[in-house]
Amino acid sequence: MIIGEKLQSLRKERNLSKRDLVAALPINYSTYANYESGFREPNSEVLQILARYFNVSIDYLLGMTENRKKADEVAVLTDTEHEHILQYRALDDHGRELVDLIMKKECERVNFPNDKAMNDHKQVVDRQWISLQVYQQRASAGLGDYLNEESDNDYEIMRFMATPVSMRADFCVSVRGDSMEPKICDGNIVFIKAMPQIEPDSIGVFNYDGEAFCKRLRIDHKKGAIYLESLNRSYAPKLIQKPECLRTVGLVIGVAEQDKP
């Protein structure tokens, strides 16, 4: 009866009547009708004809599997592929996000020409390099410099080595000053993941009252105070006296290593 149910379901999926179906097959109407009703079962030769017509495996028609694909069409994993799957399942959410991102970018790289023109405000991976916008109104790691929405057109496209970090970045920002040394030095370019807020104790780029800063965010819950902190102990934390004027540009996820000709 399983064969009959499978044949009936496959036929109805194609919106065919029994007579429409047998007209395309070397099977007479009454014989096929008996297959669907369960009064008869097709022999091996007829099973092959039906499986080819419906593009399914014989095992599927017999109810031995719910996978419709033929055995030679089912992907067989290599030992390496199987190991990769096990490693992926062992990752945390952050690790899986990175792997998914790299996989997406690599699929884009192999499916599109390397010389494909870069669309406005989009990244393009070219072999081992990635192109990103670098905003030239620098975020200060010291005195502060202007960086806001009006700076959208003040950038240049630069190439960086394609790494898990660079491929997570939405854009880059130049940094000036030494207040974030030794992690971020004067003249460095940092990778930024755009987001409206970041976790406390994270380093980000912020716009505060018309000035841009690359700093570490610190929140003193007891005092109800917000600070932009420097890593260089020579600089005192900057108290945010007008929290409503503080805007997070994004999270600093790494320091860029620029492509050098």
- Write out pLDDT tens, residues 30-54: 888 988 888 888 888 888 888 888 8
Q: How far is CA 137 from the centre of its chain?
A: 29
Q: Check whether 138 has a pLDDT greater than 80.
A: no
Q: Check whether 146 has a pLDDT greater than 70.
A: no
- Cα(203)–Cα(137) distance, integer angstroms: 18
Task: Provide the residue ranges of all domains of the chain, joining segments of one domain with +.
Answer: 2-73, 79-111, 124-255
Percent of the chain whose predicted confidence (pLDDT) is above 90: 13
At a CB cut-off of 8 Å and minimum separation 6, what does 244 contact?
Answer: none
Q: Check whether 143 has a pLDDT greater than 80.
A: no
- Write out pLDDT tens, residues 198-229: 888 899 999 888 788 899 999 988 888 999 99
Query: Please, are residues 139 and 212 in contact by the beta-carbon 8 Å criterion?
Result: yes
Task: Please state which of the ranges 31-35, 151-155, 164-168 shows the lowest mean pLDDT.
Answer: 151-155
Q: Looking at domain 124-255, which CATH architecture does it have? A: Ribbon (2.10)
pLDDT value, residue 203: 93
pTM of this structure: 0.49
- Which tops the pLDDT comparison, 66 or 190? 190
Q: Looking at domain 2-73, which CATH architecture does it have? A: Orthogonal Bundle (1.10)
pLDDT value, residue 230: 92
- Which tops the pLDDT comparison, 40 or 73? 40
- Which tops the pLDDT comparison, 166 or 105? 166
